[in-house]
Amino acid sequence: MTIALDRPGVDGVGAAVEALREWQDDGAPPQPHPGDVGWFHRFGPEATAAALRTWSRDGRILAVGLLDGSRLLRLAIAPDALRDEETARRLVGDVGDPGRGVLPEGRANIEAPPGALLHDLLDVEGWGTDEPWTPLRHDLTQPVEDPGVRIEVVGPQRASERAAVHRAAFEGSTFTEERWHAMAAGPLYADARCLVAYDDRGDAVAAVTVWSAGPGKPGLIEPMGAHREHRGRGYGRAITLAAVAALREMGCSSAFVCTPSSLVAAVATYVSAGFRALPEVRDRTRGDG
């Protein structure tokens, strides 16, 4: 049967997420995680559904795309379809035709798993590469070092504090208490935790959200940040250790995160907390022309 492109709608989000969950594996190439959809849910269920695309053959989902903005497609592909020519050609055809409702005309980026045949076909179509990102992974078979600061699990009563730390960590962030509640109301938050670190004065200094894909599967850190007024004091490392410990308690096999390679301090923070840097990856990019 031919491969069908679909917009799953609110009722179809669960099937797309289950596919992402199934594809998570410590030995597989890095690709979007159910937690990426969970974090996107801060914009609400309708917006989350509108951002998803699926490609299926004979009723089985082969690829899931998350539009992180109108011009960035974050693409996950079933491990046994990474080198499937029919899948790759259908994906390239759909991202290249604005009328199919995936990417608009002109400038666009695609995040896709390393080693996918898709990359070879995008080369032929003239797609270039963007700035490098560093994936990092932390094995969770051993106990995790104590973070050395007070860590609290965030519930609704601390949502405003969690959101405030995030805005102070990421310039231009629009994360609010209302968006935290929208994220927490989503079905994926049952497999997530938000953590906040506090200094000796009781000030919130760093925060993180972690996402499980299920027992024995890699867990995701998305996002993590230290308050800009409290940087350089080890709080980023402390909240990262707390995140790793939380994922281990949730039964995850490893902790995974991906950060721009240009953020040298962020990469160093993860490495100092026990993460191992994996080979760099690059988004595919198409210019305005």
- In this predicted model, what pLDDT tens digit does every residue of 177-223 receive, in sequence order? 999 999 999 999 999 999 999 999 999 999 999 999 999 999 999 99
- Predicted pLDDT of residue 289: 59
> Any residues with CB less than 8 A from the CB of 187 and at least 6 apart, and which?
13, 14, 17
Q: Are 135 and 278 in contact (CB under 8 A)?
A: yes
The gap from C-alpha 53 to its chain's centroid, in whole angstroms, comes to: 16
Residues of the chain with pLDDT under 50: none
- Predicted pLDDT of residue 157: 95
Interior/surface letters 109-138, b for 16+ CB within 10 angstroms, e for the rest: bbbbbeebbbbebbeeeebeeeeebbbbbb
The C-alpha atoms of residue 267 and residue 117 are separated, in whole angstroms, by 29
- Predicted pLDDT of residue 288: 80
The C-alpha atoms of residue 240 and residue 274 are separated, in whole angstroms, by 9
- Predicted pLDDT of residue 110: 98
C-alpha pair distances (Å), 117 with each of 24, 120, 181, 208, 217: 19, 5, 39, 34, 25
- The SS3 assignment for 82 reads coil
- Predicted pLDDT of residue 179: 98
The C-alpha atoms of residue 28 and residue 113 are separated, in whole angstroms, by 9
